[in-house]
């Protein structure tokens, strides 16, 4: 019997799979009431089949009676849910579920079990069902079984058209005929009759990689869909309505086809769309091809088949990884650097052959310093690396993508150096990663820090409210210095999962300064491009959408109307700042869309450590940026970049294009189930608290009322991610631990890691951040919950022992987080605006004669005496990795108080023995 781990209200237990239990608990909804819940369908579907197999097996073996088949029983509920769900998956379909039901009604339990077993085997990825009895199969079934055991990668193609059962059988027979042993992949059709069902299918079934639309489809679904699914379908149609309206074609049927194509493209742009039309294909082709890869006549089955396979082979293609493999297979002599290459210095060594034993010989065969022979140079790519980067640009929706082998720390420095000259003003979130501060110092930019809203209760920061960014830009405009402002840099999402609305931020800033450039640090957000809802808040998707918006005539009119309100018609002077802050500002249709994003691919997707990417969506790339970018890239890129990192970036890209949606959906869903398990378990609930959007985002910066939109379903999340200024990335779970009686650092090291081998990175004094990623499994989630229960029991015992008169000890008081104090007068701007000169202060501090070391106590005494000491360097607690002090910054009481209670072990730039580095007064 298959046993899966599930959570129950009393903790973790090993039990028979109960789809309803697991999902009702996880989603707060019953399976039947919500059969099409897209966020957890992957789990729901396989649980339902597993449960059926378990239950019918008991029935067949006489351990249960036929009463378990009652209409209100769990088996019937699962079957009803699967009748809806299976419409959206290839292979078995609704008819198959109906046949199982019929077999059960007729008491043919073994036959039902055999059918269920086949589905379970396919879902588990095993080819031969455990209950398989060959003698009972007819020819068609035997052919299907053989098909199931085909080891080739398999994908699904959605066909949207009203079809009869006979049509469908004919189609299936046709594909089997077209299939050839030489094909690298196999595919199956999912056939749905309506536009609504097409949307439901692409939202629930991540195996779908291509869609074939035939104009005969109907509009609305006849299925019993959940409310969440119905609302999501409506939102999807509305969301793409603007795009369709721009078409000049007046043909109603063409509009329907275009509308559906746009909706599907908005949801999953990686899907390949084909149109199969009956006639007038020549006329249609001109109107439709921008949306469709190709338009075919019905009889062009073979051409369509070849196109489908060819497209997937393009997604599968990994030019650099392939080149590395080929290089490793070639016999070669090395008369150059890198003794490790081809195992040279290792395999014959007396002392270090364990390197090969551990990593395998392939690693050494792949190590080379060659840039020819099929390989390529990262610094001047013309072959495999260039191609791989182009494919990555396609996958992430960028115009250009560059691989970086030294992490986003380097990627950030490259972008800053490419865009900023000494003296340019950069508006930057003070809590951004240290690499930005270093880059600002290197470029000689004048740094104007933006303050994020603090979350003092939890000892970390949120994000920078848009009002503050606008106000600062207006201040520079009022001072006549707006032309000096060059770049805005923000972290999206923050370490703690606060996500901006980049399109809104850019639009409103561009309304004040139309040539601003944006750098979005998406170190933690690479995964977001592969989910329909999170994608819209990535820099690349936002840039594209904004560009499309600016080109519409509706925008041009709205822009003119707003300008009339914001400028005095007589004098041409802008209205008071309040008016500019109160309106959602619209940029000029001529505003320049210049957007850069840096991503630590290795943090959230498949890539070796340090594998990062820079994505570019810059309208002025060729004129303004390409050459400076390449100079900056040369400055920071090693001439010996690690090929294994590059190959892993190539593979990571292949993965997200083929299965990114599935993996990200699972990542979000598993995080939600962790949050729910903590919220529902009595002991966990007493000990831990999962922070929601209501804790992490001020009410003024969110419109939606729900604390955890993702938990409520796809449509609630969709609306929150569309409307709210900030949202929380659901895959980050910040847990408040004050009631455990230990601080975050102790919890992380002594309890999670040392006792149970659970790794987390980020803590504050009273919180711990748990993250799911695309590699998280259901069993690892189960293990985490199990560990939390054990820890909670332990903490509760300890706390009870310490309790006096039944009172719990009060949590330790939190120090307020210090805002950026100010630059010292030597480095600050004379007009009172916040920009300062990091570089001059930094290089002064590099000369020993200019600095002194002061202990915490000495510095505290000086400040108490009225002195204003100035930091000579960066002081950065890691994690989270943003500086508490930067060169040229005044050291204040607040900074010292914060440092006094900081529990981070690693503080870059601060030596506890020697103290702080302070600039001597002249």
Do the Cβ atoms of 450 and 475 come closer than 8 Å? Answer: no
**Among residue numbers 285 through 314, which ones bind ligand PLP (CB under 6 A)?**
none
Q: Report how far residue 26's alpha carbon sits from residue 669's, in angstroms, rounded to the nearest whole number.
A: 9
Residue (259 or 909) nearer to ligand PLP, CB: 909
Q: Report how far residue 869's alpha carbon sits from residue 822's, in angstroms, rounded to the nearest whole number.
A: 12
Q: Is 701 in the site for ligand PLP (CB under 6 A)?
A: no
Residue (295 or 649) nearer to ligand PLP, CB: 649
Helix (H) / strand (E) containing 768: strand 767-771
Three state DSSP letters for 675-718: HHHHHHCHHHHHHCEECCHHHHCCHHHCCCCCCCHHHHCHHHHH
Q: Is 29 in the site for ligand PLP (CB under 6 A)?
A: no
Task: Tell me if residue 873 falls in helix, strand or coil.
Answer: coil
**Among residue numbers 137 through 166, which ones bind ligand PLP (CB under 6 A)?**
none
Q: Report how far residue 4's alpha carbon sits from residue 123's, in angstroms, rounded to the nearest whole number.
A: 14
Do the Cβ atoms of 330 and 373 come closer than 8 Å? Answer: yes
Exposed/middle/buried for residue 182 (C-beta within 10 Å: 0-12, 13-18, 19+): exposed
Ranked by CB distance to ligand PLP, the top (closest) residue is 407
Q: Is 447 in the site for ligand PLP (CB under 6 A)?
A: no
Do the Cβ atoms of 518 and 596 come closer than 8 Å? Answer: yes
Residue (676 or 764) nearer to ligand PLP, CB: 764
Contact characters 590-609, ligand PLP, x per CB under 6 A: ----------x---------
**Among residue numbers 34 through 63, which ones bind ligand PLP (CB under 6 A)?**
none
In whole angstroms, how close is the CB of 728 to ligand PLP at the nearest point?
Answer: 16
In whole angstroms, how close is the CB of 608 to ligand PLP at the nearest point?
Answer: 11
Closest CA to 606 of 648, 659, 664: 648
Do the Cβ atoms of 883 and 874 come closer than 8 Å? Answer: yes
Q: Is 521 in the site for ligand PLP (CB under 6 A)?
A: yes
DSSP β-bridge partners for residue 192: 160
668-691 b/e (C-beta count within 10 Å ≥ 16 → b): bbbbbbbbbbbbebeebeebbbbb
In whole angstroms, how close is the CB of 523 to ligand PLP at the nearest point?
Answer: 3
Q: Which stretch binds ligand PLP (CB under 6 A): 67-75, 164-172, 407-415, 840-848?
A: 407-415
**Among residue numbers 330 through 369, which ones bind ligand PLP (CB under 6 A)?**
none
Q: Report how far residue 532's alpha carbon sits from residue 541's, in angstroms, rounded to the nearest whole number.
A: 11
Q: Is 408 in the site for ligand PLP (CB under 6 A)?
A: yes
Residue (416 or 433) nearer to ligand PLP, CB: 433
Q: Is 433 in the site for ligand PLP (CB under 6 A)?
A: yes
Exposed/middle/buried for residue 129 (C-beta within 10 Å: 0-12, 13-18, 19+): buried
Q: Is 429 in the site for ligand PLP (CB under 6 A)?
A: no
Residue (435 or 704) nearer to ligand PLP, CB: 435
Residue (567 or 878) nearer to ligand PLP, CB: 878
Exposed/middle/buried for residue 222 (C-beta within 10 Å: 0-12, 13-18, 19+): exposed
Task: Tell me if residue 161 falls in helix, strand or coil.
Answer: coil
Q: Report how far residue 244's alpha carbon sits from residue 160's, in angstroms, rounded to the nearest whole number.
A: 19
Q: Report how far residue 892's alpha carbon sits from residue 196's, in angstroms, rounded to the nearest whole number.
A: 60
Euclidean distance between the first and final Cα of the chain, in Å? 79
Q: Is 881 in the site for ligand PLP (CB under 6 A)?
A: yes
DSSP β-bridge partners for residue 819: none
Residue (205 or 600) nearer to ligand PLP, CB: 600
Do the Cβ atoms of 313 and 322 come closer than 8 Å? Answer: no
Which of residues 343, 407, 465, 909 is near ligand PLP by CB under 6 A?
A: 407
Q: CA torsion 896→902→905→909, rounded to 10°?
A: -30
In whole angstroms, how close is the CB of 124 to ligand PLP at the nearest point?
Answer: 36
Q: Is 413 in the site for ligand PLP (CB under 6 A)?
A: no
Q: Which stretch binds ligand PLP (CB under 6 A): 288-296, 402-410, 563-571, 850-858?
A: 402-410
Q: Is 270 in the site for ligand PLP (CB under 6 A)?
A: no
Q: How many residues bind ligand PLP (CB under 6 A)?
A: 12
Which of residues 296, 495, 530, 823 is near ligand PLP by CB under 6 A?
A: 495
Q: Is 612 in the site for ligand PLP (CB under 6 A)?
A: yes
Residue (495 or 688) nearer to ligand PLP, CB: 495
Q: At what angle do helices 41-60 and 19-27 cross, to 10 degrees?
A: 150
In whole angstroms, how close is the CB of 299 to ligand PLP at the nearest point?
Answer: 52
Do the Cβ atoms of 37 and 225 come closer than 8 Å? Answer: no
Q: Which stretch binds ligand PLP (CB under 6 A): 111-119, 332-340, 404-412, 892-900?
A: 404-412
In whole angstroms, how close is the CB of 583 to ligand PLP at the nearest point?
Answer: 31
Do the Cβ atoms of 132 and 283 come closer than 8 Å? Answer: no
Residue (409 or 417) nearer to ligand PLP, CB: 409
Strand boundaries in 783-915, DSSP class E: 836-837, 851-854, 876-878, 906-908
In whole angstroms, how close is the CB of 435 to ligand PLP at the nearest point?
Answer: 6
In whole angstroms, how close is the CB of 597 to ligand PLP at the nearest point?
Answer: 11
Which of residues 450, 523, 769, 885 is near ligand PLP by CB under 6 A?
A: 523
In whole angstroms, how close is the CB of 664 to ligand PLP at the nearest point?
Answer: 19
In whole angstroms, how close is the CB of 667 to ligand PLP at the nearest point?
Answer: 18
Q: Report how far residue 400's alpha carbon sits from residue 397's, in angstroms, rounded to the nearest whole number.
A: 9
Do the Cβ atoms of 445 and 504 come closer than 8 Å? Answer: no
Q: Is 729 in the site for ligand PLP (CB under 6 A)?
A: no
Q: Which stretch binds ligand PLP (CB under 6 A): 269-277, 406-414, 711-719, 796-804?
A: 406-414
Residue (782 or 880) nearer to ligand PLP, CB: 880
> For 623, what's the count of Cα atoms within 13 Å in the CB-facing half-sphere?
5
Residue (258 or 769) nearer to ligand PLP, CB: 769
Residue (408 or 738) nearer to ligand PLP, CB: 408
Main-chain dihedrals φ then ψ at residue 414, nearest 5 degrees: -60, -50
Q: Is 430 in the site for ligand PLP (CB under 6 A)?
A: no
Contact characters 465-494, ligand PLP, x per CB under 6 A: --------------------------x---
Which chain residues interact with ligand PLP by CB under 6 A?
A: 407-409, 433, 435, 491, 495, 521, 523, 600, 612, 881
């Amino acid at each position: 019997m298959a046993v899966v781990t599930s959570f129950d209200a009393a903790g973790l237990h090993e039990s028979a799979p109960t789809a309803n239990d697991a999902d009702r608990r996880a989603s707060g909804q019953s399976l039947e009431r919500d059969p099409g819940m897209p966020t957890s369908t992957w789990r729901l579907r396989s649980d339902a089949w597993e449960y059926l197999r378990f239950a019918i097996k008991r029935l067949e073996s006489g351990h249960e009676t036929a009463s378990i088949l009652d209409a209100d029983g769990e088996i019937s509920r699962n079957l009803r849910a699967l009748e809806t769900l299976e419409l959206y998956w290839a292979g078995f379909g609704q008819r198959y579920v109906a046949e199982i039901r019929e077999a059960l009604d007729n008491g043919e339990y073994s036959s039902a079990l055999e059918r269920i077993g086949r589905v379970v085997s396919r879902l588990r990825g095993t080819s031969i069902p455990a209950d398989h009895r060959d003698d009972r199969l007819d020819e068609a079934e035997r052919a299907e079984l053989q098909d199931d055991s085909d080891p080739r990668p398999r994908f699904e193609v959605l066909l949207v058209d009203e079809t009869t059962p006979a049509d469908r059988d004919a189609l299936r027979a046709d594909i089997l005929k077209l299939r050839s042993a030489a094909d690298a992949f196999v595919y199956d059709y999912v056939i749905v009759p309506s536009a609504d069902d097409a949307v439901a299918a692409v939202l629930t079934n991540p195996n779908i990689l291509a869609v074939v639309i035939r104009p005969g489809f109907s509009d609305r679904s006849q299925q019993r869909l959940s409310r969440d699914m119905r609302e999501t379908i409506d939102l999807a149609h509305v969301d793409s309505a603007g795009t369709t309206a721009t078409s000049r074609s007046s043909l109603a049927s063409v509009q329907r086809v275009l509308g559906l194509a746009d909706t599907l493209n908005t949801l999953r742009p990686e899907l390949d769309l084909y149109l199969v039309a009956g006639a007038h294909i020549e006329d249609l082709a001109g109107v439709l091809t921008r949306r469709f890869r190709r338009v075919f006549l019905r009889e062009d089955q073979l051409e369509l088949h070849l196109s489908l396979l060819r497209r997937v082979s393009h997604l599968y293609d990994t030019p650099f990884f392939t080149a590395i493999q080929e290089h490793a297979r070639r016999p070669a002599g090395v008369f150059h650097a890198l003794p490790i290459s081809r195992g040279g210095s290792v395999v014959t060594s007396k002392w270090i052959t364990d390197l090969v034993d551990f990593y395998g010989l392939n690693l050494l065969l792949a190590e080379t310093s060659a840039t020819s022979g099929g390989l390529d140079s990262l610094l001047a790519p013309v072959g495999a690396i260039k191609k791989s980067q182009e494919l990555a640009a396609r996958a992430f929706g960028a115009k250009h993508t560059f691989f970086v082998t030294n992490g986003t720390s380097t990627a950030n420095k490259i972008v800053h150096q490419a865009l900023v000259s000494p003296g340019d003003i950069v508006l930057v979130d003070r809590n951004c990663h240290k690499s930005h501060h270093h880059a600002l110092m290197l470029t000689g930019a004048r740094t104007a820090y933006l303050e994020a809203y603090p979350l003092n209760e939890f000892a970390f920061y949120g994000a920078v409210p848009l009002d503050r960014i606008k106000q600062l830009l207006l201040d520079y405009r009022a001072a006549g210095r707006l032309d000096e402002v060059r770049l805005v840099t923000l972290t999206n999402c923050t370490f703690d999962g606060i996500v901006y609305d980049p399109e809104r931020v850019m639009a409103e800033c561009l309304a004040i300064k139309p040539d601003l450039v944006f750098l979005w640090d998406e170190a933690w957000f690479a995964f977001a491009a592969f989910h329909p809802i999170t994608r819209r808040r990535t820099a690349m998707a936002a840039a594209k959408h904004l560009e499309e918006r600016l080109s519409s005539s509706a925008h041009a009119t709205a822009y003119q109307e707003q300008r009339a309100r914001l400028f005095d018609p007589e004098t041409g002077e802008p209205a008071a700042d309040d008016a500019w802050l109160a309106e959602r500002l619209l940029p000029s249709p001529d505003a320049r869309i210049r957007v850069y994003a840096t991503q630590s691919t290795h943090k959230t997707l498949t890539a070796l450590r340090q594998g990062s990417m820079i994505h570019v969506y810059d309208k002025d790339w060729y004129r303004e940026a390409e050459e400076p970018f390449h100079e900056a890239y040369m400055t920071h890129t090693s001439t010996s970049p690690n090929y294994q990192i590059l190959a892993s970036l190539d593979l990571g890209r292949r993965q997200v294009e083929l299965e990114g949606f599935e993996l990200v959906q699972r990542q979000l869903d598993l995080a939600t189930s962790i949050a729910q398990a903590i919220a529902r378990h009595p002991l966990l609930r007493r000990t831990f608290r999962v922070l929601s959007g209501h804790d992490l985002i001020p009410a003024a910066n969110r419109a939606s009322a729900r604390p955890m939109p993702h938990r409520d379903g796809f449509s609630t999340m969709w609306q929150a991610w569309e409307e709210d200024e900030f949202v929380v990335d659901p895959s980050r779970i910040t847990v408040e631990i004050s009631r455990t009686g230990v601080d975050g650092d102790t919890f992380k090291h002594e309890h999670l890691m040392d006792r149970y081998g659970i790794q987390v990175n980020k803590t504050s004094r009273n919180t711990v951040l748990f993250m799911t990623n695309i590699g998280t499994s259901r069993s690892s989630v189960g293990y985490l919950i199990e560990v939390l229960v054990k820890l909670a029991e332990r903490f509760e015992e300890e706390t009870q022992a310490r309790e006096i008169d039944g009172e719990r000890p009060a949590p330790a008081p939190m120090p307020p987080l210090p805002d950026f104090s100010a630059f010292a007068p030597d480095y600050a701007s004379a007009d009172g605006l916040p920009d300062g000169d990091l570089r001059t202060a930094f290089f002064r501090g590099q000369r020993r004669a200019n600095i002194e070391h002061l202990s915490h106590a000495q510095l505290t005494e000086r400040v108490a005496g009225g002195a204003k000491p100035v930091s000579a360097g960066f002081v950065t607690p890691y994690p989270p990795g943003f500086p508490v002090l930067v060169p040229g910054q005044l050291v204040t009481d607040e900074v010292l108080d914060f440092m006094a209670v900081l529990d981070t072990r690693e503080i870059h730039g601060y030596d506890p023995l020697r103290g702080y580095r302070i600039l001597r007064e002249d």
